[in-house]
Chain A
Amino acid sequence: MSMATATAPPVERVNYLNKEYGVASWLFTTDHKRIALLYLLSITFFFFIGGFFALLIRLELLTPASDLVQADTYNKLFTMHGMVMVFFFLIPSIPAVLGNFLVPLMIGAKDLAFPRVNLMSWYLYIIGGIMMLHCMLTGGVDTGWTFYTPFSTAYTNTKIVEAGLAIFVVGFSSILTGLNFIVTIHRMRAPGMTWSRLPLFIWAHYATSIIQILGTPVVAITIILVAAERTLHLGIFDPKLGGDPLLFQHLFWFYSHPAVYIMILPSMGVVTEIFACFSRKRIFGYSFVAFSSIAIAVFGFLVWAHHMFVAGISVYAALVFSLLSYAVAVPSAVKVFNWTATLYKGSIHYDAPMLYAFGFLGLFTIGGLTGLFLAALGIDVHVTDTYFVVAHFHYIMVGGAVMGYLGGMHFWWPKISGRLYPEGWARLAALIVFIGFNLTFFPQFLLGYMGMPRRYADYSHMPEFQILNVFSTAGATVLGIGYLLPMIYFLWSMRYGKPASDNPWNAAGLEWKTTSPPPTFNFDEEPVVTWEAYNYAELDAPQKDKDKQEVPVAR
């Protein structure tokens, strides 16, 4: 602490960033905010690795022939793109960075319930990440991130077991994060922070945590079974050994479908906060938005076989899963309508976080509605395993989840770093990402309905698909620039950005009632909550000295 006062300007308060310096103070920290930053660095690293694979994929598809890379290399590229993006970026992205940083702050806690478990989850992530990097550098995997059997257990000669173990390990980091959140939200809310006063970001993370805890063990078991069949030749999935290849798909999707909600629910939580703040309004239908998160988490477990309509399941099973898939669409639609209604009679600001939230709304709507196409059995037969599916899930997982993530990073950046990002650049980046995204992925819907199958290294038999692929590759270039920009100006702002006030957006929520950046234990004194969530009416009430508004203090 004495070091901090020695190096920092005399007026700067002691906060979680300048309290201690040195590598050890980061690597052995149990401060949820510092761990969030460790996660931020690590997932950004993997995001750019995954993005690099995506770039190579798009370049290869610029021409029909397989000319830039060999088919084997291409197959490894899309496999590793998927594995890195899903397990090492999307699943940890919002929960492990923004969730880690904000859950204790938003509920008025000093830290997560299990700070050391939190640090352990980051180490597990890093161990899994190193295993994955090692696997990629020494040959990689070519099964697609879906590991379908018996290809993965008996036919490929790539590093299935190693990749599987990397995912197995990183899965535990996800479980521990979820566990920590659930206990923290139950046990560590500040006095007065009732369930109905929780920010909807917390509700979304609560729902996400349920999925992480209940779903992730299933994929861990599945990986063990794949490894067992591959190394010990136990007959589980391979029919030649007496197994059933569809059993694998059931187990895999039982986790991997809900995993999509692990990615999108936190993003929904982020944009809910943003819509409220930049419309200066209480969220329309608070309890419907809150419970729709829980409904999505629950129904999300009952729809896995909609990935398998043409896989050889019975028509009656397909019927049930199609029906349930429409059931899960209802709470998602409810959310979209409530966000839209929140804008009504608001006082709307167009700062960069809001632009990302608008982008989220548009892309999630398109992604969600194209989900209705895929859930319709008759259409799914034609478009499943084509680029229609590729476009659909990118609209949800990149258009939705990443837009929300970037929106949240901008919204809370002043709190995280204590600095303001350059607003003009941020608005430009939001626009570039939105345009680049649509240019990349919209043509893929058309390609999919035309019948272009996914995971094709070479489409020289169907040159008619080239023009749309060229559009898509061009869009990916734009999108890449859009993603690089925030990284550059966030880094820039850490040194040159204007210092942020405690509450630069004049936003509701306890995280804004402490300093920017917050002190190590978040609040100088334990806050007591006496107001409802999203009390923008009070915040905007004409009063001269509202900046001096004090946090009530526990007696």
Chain B
Amino acid sequence: MLDNFPLWPERASTMAGNVDALYIFLLIVSGLMTLLIFIAVVYFAARYRYRRGVPAEQIEGSIPLELTWSIIPFFVFMAIFLWGAVVFFRGRTPPRDSTEVYVVAKQWMWKLEHAEGQREINELHVPVGRDVKLIMTSQDVIHSFYVPAFRMKQDVLPGRYTMAWFRATKPGTYHLFCAEYCGTQHSGMVGSIVVMGPAQYEAWMSGGSTGPLSATGEKVFSELGCATCHRSDSQGRGPNLQGVFGKPVQLEDGRTVTADENYVRECILDPGAKRVKGFQPIMPTFQGLVSEEQVNALVAYVKSLSNSSAAGANSNAAMALPAAPDKAPAKAATQGSQVQ
């Protein structure tokens, strides 16, 4: 019903209903509060307007009343808080086994790369009914990935990954906005999300790929010589990366961190910051030597070493690789040099 209301944004993700429900609840609660106050003010103002010879009745105050109108709103507020927090947590916890898309924002465009290898600019094609996880970073300033129809927004920062996810529920084309002011063409940093039915999506996916991102990453990995130290037989001077991703890692300084996307990223760009226990600080930084796209590819590759399904994709990639042996990393490299 509300989908046809012209003052309402389209509702095209699983989150949209949750957010709208809370919004409607808040509209009702705040509408009632407003009405209560307005009616009281208007009634008092009319009923007790100045009349000659009728003095105001002095009332000191009332502690029971003060407590009532402190405590009742407090509990109403807490209810809103809890509901808001629940919706937020759901929106912030990416489900396992989502389709992954790497997002690189720059002034003033969105560069999107599917884990399967398709690259897009300012347009993202996604399947309906599948969880899509966005792993996002920025090449320059802060941007924000905002899709009103999905009720989803996440700032995209330089120097780290931020994550977001959604599951589209309705095929169609939806606005993608940059919501954090990012300079001259901020309002031009817009694009669209194209949600497709499964069959069309398969058709779309079958074209234009240069092989999975993890395969690109494997190529970068060997080109940069990472494999000389990060050997798969645990005899290398660097940690063996097989099965590391997603697991806790013991650090030299005694801390334990989870090897997530941000950790892998940090290890590439600032290897000394969180060194793995038992290894020497011999790894050089790759800051400035690799593009954001190459970092993404490396992260996807490291991830594929731990993830059975992705590893499968990787072996597919190994088969697919001879078809286009040099293209992908070369492309990533040129794109990197363009933007730097």
Contacts and interface: CB of A to CB of B under 8 A. Distances in A.
B149 to A, nearest CB: 8
B33 to A, nearest CB: 6
Nearest to A249: B142
B226 interface: no
B93 to A, nearest CB: 8
Contact of A151 (B92, B152, B183): B183
Interface in B23-43: 23, 26, 29-30, 33-34, 37-38, 40-41
Contacts of A142: 183-184
B59 A284 contact: yes
Contacts of B8: 449-450
Interface stretch (B78-86, B210-218, B227-235): B78-86
Given A286-B61, A446-B7, A66 B183 contact: no
Given A280-B56, A349-B50, A375-B84, A239 B160 contact: yes
A380 B157 CA distance: 19
Contact of A75 (B48, B55, B141, B186): B186
B69 A334 contact: yes
A373 B23 contact: yes
A548 interface: no
B153 A385 contact: yes
A345 B57 contact: yes
Contacts of B78: 326
Interface string A130-156: 000000000000111010101100111
B279 interface: no
Q: Which of A280, A288, A382, A384: most chain B CB closer than 10 A? A: A382
Interface residues on A, range: 35 or more
A282 B26 contact: no
Interface string B139-164: 01110101011011111011110100
Q: Which of B8, B49, B56, B77: most chain A CB closer than 10 A? A: B56
B77 A240 contact: no
Contacts of B180: 148, 385
B182 A365 contact: no
Interface residues of A: mostly helix, strand, loop or mixed? Answer: helix
A453 B178 contact: yes
Contacts of A127: none
A408 to B, nearest CB: 19
B73 A329 contact: yes
Contact of B61 (A284, A311, A365): A284
Given A369-B30, A378-B83, A379-B84, A155 B59 contact: no
Contacts of B61: 284-288, 338
Contacts of A384: 153, 179
A234 B4 CA distance: 53
Interface residues on B, range: 35 or more
B190 A461 contact: yes
B58 interface: yes
Given A279-B56, A285-B61, A345-B56, A378 B66 contact: no
Contact of A318 (B9, B48, B88): B88
Contacts of B83: 376, 378
B92 to A, nearest CB: 5
A459 B88 contact: no
A359 to B, nearest CB: 11
B158 A459 contact: no
Contacts, number: 274
Interface in A303-331: 309-312, 315, 318-319, 322-323, 326, 329-330
B157 A361 contact: no
A553 B253 CA distance: 73
A386 B179 contact: yes
A540 B51 CA distance: 13
Contacts of A333: 69-70, 73
Nearest to B21: A378
Given A348-B50, A450-B8, A382 B59 contact: no
Given A315-B89, A315-B92, A322 B84 contact: yes
Contacts of A155: 107, 140-141, 183
Contacts of A551: none
Interface in B56-106: 56-62, 65-66, 69-70, 73-74, 77-78, 80-81, 83-92
Nearest to B27: A373
B66 A334 contact: yes
Nearest to A239: B159
Contacts of B224: none
B40 A334 contact: no
Nearest to A75: B184
A385 B84 contact: no
B18 A378 contact: yes
B162 A347 contact: no
B188 interface: yes
Contacts of A345: 48, 56-57, 59
B132 interface: no
A319 B9 CA distance: 26
A346 B48 contact: yes
B54 interface: yes
A72 B77 CA distance: 41
A369 B34 contact: yes
A377 interface: yes
A148 B186 CA distance: 14
A236 to B, nearest CB: 13
A310 B159 contact: no
A457 interface: yes
B137 to A, nearest CB: 10
Given A347-B48, A381-B153, A382-B153, A540 B37 contact: no
Contacts of B86: 378
Contacts of B190: 461
B74 A385 contact: no
A326 B77 contact: yes
Contact of B44 (A285, A330, A340): A340
Given A336-B37, A378-B18, A246 B87 contact: no
B88 A453 contact: no
B175 A151 contact: no
Contacts of A311: 142, 155, 157
A330 B74 contact: yes
Given A151-B181, A385-B179, 20 more contacts: A142-B183, A143-B181, A151-B183, A246-B157, A280-B55, A284-B61, A329-B73, A334-B66, A337-B65, A345-B59, A346-B44, A348-B50, A370-B30, A376-B81, A381-B154, A386-B179, A449-B7, A451-B175, A455-B187, A457-B187
Shortest beta-carbon contacts, A-B, top 8: A451-B148, A239-B159, A378-B87, A376-B84, A377-B88, A456-B187, A285-B61, A343-B44
Interface of A: 66, 71-72, 75, 142-144, 146, 148, 150-151, 154-156, 238-240, 244-246, 279-282, 284-288, 309-312, 315, 318-319, 322-323, 326, 329-330, 333-334, 336-338, 340-341, 343-350, 358, 361-362, 365-366, 369-370, 372-373, 375-382, 384-386, 446, 449-451, 453-459, 461-462, 536-537, 540
22 contacts: A71-B185, A148-B142, A245-B157, A280-B50, A282-B58, A284-B59, A340-B40, A344-B48, A346-B44, A346-B56, A350-B49, A373-B23, A376-B80, A378-B88, A379-B84, A381-B88, A381-B153, A384-B153, A384-B179, A385-B179, A451-B148, A456-B187
